[in-house]
Every structure is written in structure tokens, then in C-alpha cells.
């Protein structure tokens, strides 16, 4: 069985999406107890690797940015991947500046950093960080029976995040959804509603499939968020809609959303949720 990342982000290489990566790392830091200095070093190095994809990978066009985080032991590893032009051999010179403060700082802040050219174009940057005091998460392994959301082309305004185990989902998913709600120009109250929704989804991640991971794809439009949650076992979407509560007044998902739908994906289901700033 292949090992799965604890956090996987599939984004477009828009500059504002680097903030989502930093939010995911902040949630990880809360879960495993990274101190502020360790988090700053990791966030700076990973942000610079992402900035390289923003600036250089697609020659000014938009394309996919993929980030994976593994935190099952020492060292903590983060992979940043593009499928464009990647980093040329010249740019890998330690003295070159790439995407702001440049590769020298990435090398300085990472305990090790390696580059791998991908078949078909692009580069995978793998950074390893030794963390003195942080805890670790259980290893996540692919289960043959575990479904995944179908692969989607990178969309300029769509973010897909997969997180596990559930304690990590509780710290990462609310940060990402709230950042996207702010991007969609939600009011402060509606951003708070989005956090309640994220909390409810994360709280039920453990029952969503046998891997204990949750996958959410979020499309962002002005004053509107469209979520796809899944794949879920047959019947679980209805259970989630009726049973996800954080207070006695009932289902958070039906109270806080502006519409929902359940669709089939083979033997599994996808739960679609819409949140609007207009309430």
C-alpha cells in the first residue's frame, strides 16, 4: 500500500493561492505542535517554492500547483509540484534568485531539498524539515476500497483539498474554507457560518470512508462558494445532512447552506453544497 499525504492541495498557480498553502501549514502546526519559529521557516520555504510555480512554471499562464504534506515522522516533508516549464538547470544554481527571496533561502531553511523532473514536463520540489519538538501523525495508507474524488483539470477558481486524519481536518479545513469565503466577499457573519460548516464536515471525516480522510473541492465566485464533498459511502450524504450538528438546533449543513444535492459516483456519493453571501 502506498503512503498518502496528510494534506494534499490541488490549486491553480494564482498568487493568492499561496495563502491557502500557508493556512494549511498553520493548521498542521496547531495539530502537531510546531513552534512559531519552525512554522515560519517551513512556511517561508514552501511559499517560495510555490511562488516559483506562480511566476515561472507556466510562462505567465495559469496551470496546476500541487502541494503534499507528510507528517508521520522525522523529517516532516512537503512536496511542491508543477506541470509546466519547471525550474531549469540554470535556475537551480544556488546563487540564482527565483520567485522573490529565491532558492538559496529555500535551501537554507530546509534540512534537505531535492528536485525531480517530471515526465511530460514540470518539476517536483521535495523539502524536508527536522522539527525538534513537534508531534507526529499516524501514517495514512491507500486502501483498495477507498475512493477518491475524480481528477479534475486545474480551474482558476477551484481548490481541492484532501486531509486526514480527522484531528488534522479540524484545524486545516476551517482555515481554508474561511480564506475562500473571504475571497468570495462574504461578510464577517457569513465567514463565521462557513467556519461552523467546516467544523461540522471535519467532525464527520472519520465516518466518511475507511481511510479517515475528507476531500472537499471548492469553487469560488463573487459572493458564492460551491462545495463538493466525497466520495462518501452510499447513504452517508443523507446521514451527514441530517446528523451534522454542533448545537441543539439541528443540522448545520441544512441551516447554513443555500442548497444541496447528492449525486452518484459509481458505488459512492458526492455531496454538493452551496453557500451564498446573500442571505
**236, pLDDT greater than 70:** yes
Please tell us whether the domain made up of 3-129 is placed in CATH 3.20.20.70.
Answer: no
Question: Domain boundaries in the chain?
Answer: 3-129, 157-276
Look up the pTM and report it: 0.88
Count CA atoms closer than 13 A to 231's CA, side-chain side.
17
What are the pLDDT digits (tens) for 44-91? 999 999 998 998 889 888 999 999 999 998 899 999 999 998 665 445
157-276, CATH topology level: Heat Shock Protein 90 (3.30.565)
- Which residue shows C-alpha cell 540554470? 90
What are the pLDDT digits (tens) for 197-212? 999 888 876 555 556 7
Is there a common fold for 3-129 and 157-276?
yes
DSSP 136: -
R_g of the chain computed on alpha carbons: 19
Q: What is the mean pLDDT of residues 224-242?
A: 84
Q: Is the dihedral of CA 163, 214, 268, 219 positive or negative?
A: negative
Amino acid at each position: 500500500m502506498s503512503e498518502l499525504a496528510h494534506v494534499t492541495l490541488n490549486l491553480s498557480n494564482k498568487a493568492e493561492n499561496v495563502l491557502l498553502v500557508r493556512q494549511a501549514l498553520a493548521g498542521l502546526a496547531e495539530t502537531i505542535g510546531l513552534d512559531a519559529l519552525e512554522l515560519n521557516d517551513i512556511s517561508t520555504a514552501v511559499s517560495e517554492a510555490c511562488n516559483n510555480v506562480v511566476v515561472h512554471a507556466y510562462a505567465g499562464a495559469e496551470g496546476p500547483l500541487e502541494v503534499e504534506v507528510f507528517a508521520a515522522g522525522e523529517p516532516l516533508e512537503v512536496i511542491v509540484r508543477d506541470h509546466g516549464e519547471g525550474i531549469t538547470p540554470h535556475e537551480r544554481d544556488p546563487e540564482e534568485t527565483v520567485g522573490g527571496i529565491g532558492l538559496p533561502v529555500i535551501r537554507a531553511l530546509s534540512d534537505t531539498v531535492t528536485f525531480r523532473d517530471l515526465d511530460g514536463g514540470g518539476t517536483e520540489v521535495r523539502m524536508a524539515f527536522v522539527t525538534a519538538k513537534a508531534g507526529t501523525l499516524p501514517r495514512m495508507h491507500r486502501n483498495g476500497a477507498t475512493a477518491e474524488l475524480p481528477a479534475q483539470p486545474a480551474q482558476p477558481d477551484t481548490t481541492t483539498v484532501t486531509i486526514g486524519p480527522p484531528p488534522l481536518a479540524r484545524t486545516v479545513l476551517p482555515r481554508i474554507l474561511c480564506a475562500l469565503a473571504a475571497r468570495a466577499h462574504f461578510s464577517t457573519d457569513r465567514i463565521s457560518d462557513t467556519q461552523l460548516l467546516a467544523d461540522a464536515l471535519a467532525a464527520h471525516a472519520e465516518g466518511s470512508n475507511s481511510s479517515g480522510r475528507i476531500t472537499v473541492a471548492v469553487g469560488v465566485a463573487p459572493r458564492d462558494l460551491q462545495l463538493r464533498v466525497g466520495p462518501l459511502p452510499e447513504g452517508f450524504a443523507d446521514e451527514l445532512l441530517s446528523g451534522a450538528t454542533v448545537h441543539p438546533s439541528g443540522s448545520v449543513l441544512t441551516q447554513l447552506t443555500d442548497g444541496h444535492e447528492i449525486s452518484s459516483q459509481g458505488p459512492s456519493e458526492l455531496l454538493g453544497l452551496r453557500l451564498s453571501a446573500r442571505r
